[in-house]
Amino acid sequence: MAGRLAGKRIAIIATDGVEQAELTEPRKAVTDEGAVADLISVSGGSIQAMNGDIHPADTFEVDKLASAVQAQDYDALLLPGGTVSADRLRMDEDVVAFVRQIVATGKPVGVICHGPWALVEADVVRGRTLTSYPSIRTDITNAGGTVVDEEVVIDQGIVSSRNPDDLPAFCATIVEEFAKGQDAGAIG
């Protein structure tokens, strides 16, 4: 039986320091529904995931480099958290350009914890409502977004959650929004 995301390609952008559960649980949610999920990073090889930002967890093989991907090749984007990963990603020009392209095309985005830093850097939170880890809420506000403290928020195709405790609701919601496709991110 084909899942709700059969035939869809999902870009997951992460690097060393990604919060393991925020990578693995959403990835499993979309692949269980039939999507192909590529792990995209700033360098090749593998990335080191963490538990609670400080405890080394598993490593994951990178499928593609951020410098070699384009928004047209994907149906949706996942931005897991992890303080170190999110901070490194927002400083990478290729990642920021890719994030900006995905949002500009109206494709759905799932972002959790510190993941919104890439959205802030891409200047795509203005006029949107998101939730996030508490320490980056000022960054979202300063970038023109509105922050709420809720388990999961959907606004113009961007699904956001606060932390790993929100993963069950986050995963269910991204599957629904990714199944809707590009129309989920349409503005207006």
Please tell me which residue in 10, 84, 102, 113 is annotated as part of the active site: 113
Q: Is the dihedral of CA 25, 29, 34, 35 positive or negative?
A: negative
Q: Based on the residue annotation, tell me whether 171 is a catalytic residue of this protein.
A: no
State the Cα–Cα distance between residues 108 and 125, nearest whole angstrom.
14
Please tell me which residue in 27, 88, 90, 114 is annotated as part of the active site: 114
The interaxial angle of helices 93-104 and 83-90, nearest 10 deg, is: 90
Rg (CA), the chain: 15
Q: Among 45, 13, 9, which Cα is nearest to 118's?
A: 13
E strand intervals along the chain: 9-13, 36-41, 46-51, 55-61, 64-65, 76-79, 109-112, 129-130, 146-147, 152-155, 158-161
Q: Among 76, 77, 83, which Cα is nearest to 49's?
A: 83
CA 119 to chain centre: 9
Q: Based on the residue annotation, tell me whether 113 is a catalytic residue of this protein.
A: yes
Both ends of the chain: CA-CA distance in Å? 35
Active-site amino acid positions: 113-114
